[in-house]
Structure 1
Amino acid sequence: MAALQEVFAVARRLRSELGRRPSLDEIARASGRSPHAVRRALEHGQRAGQPPALPRPRTPE
C-alpha cells in the first residue's frame, strides 16, 4: 500500500511540475522504483478507483 501511495504522490508532483501527465519512465526515475513496479502500482490503483496517472494511448479517428 505504501508503494501505491508513493507512486501516486510522485505522479501528482510530476504532473504539477511538468504541466502534463508524466510517463511511466519519468515516474519510475523520480520514485526510485522499476518501471514494472510503477506499472503494477498504477494498475492496482486504477482497479481501486484511483484516476489514471499515465496518459491514455491516442486512438486514430
Structure 2
Amino acid sequence: MTLKQLFDELEQRWPGVGEKILRSSQVVLNLDYVDCDWSEREKKGEGIVIKAGDEVGIVPPA
C-alpha cells in the first residue's frame, strides 16, 4: 500500500479528515519523517510504500 492509498482509505472512512487534519500534519514512517506534497493533491504520498509491519504516525500541528 502506498501512503496515498492509506490517505484515500482514511478519507473514505472519515470524510474531510484529509483537509482538516492530514493536510497540516507531519507523517512519520518507521520513526522517519516523510515528505508529503499536499500542493499536488493527487500525488501526495504516491511514491511512499508502506510494507507489512511498518509503523505510520500522524503528528498534528502543535
| TM-score, normalisation: structure 2 | 0.36
More strand by share: 2
Where relative contact order (Cα < 8 A, 6+ residues apart) is larger, the structure is 2
Under a length normalisation based on structure 1, what TM-score does the superposition of the two structures give?
Answer: 0.36
Say which structure is richer in helix. 1
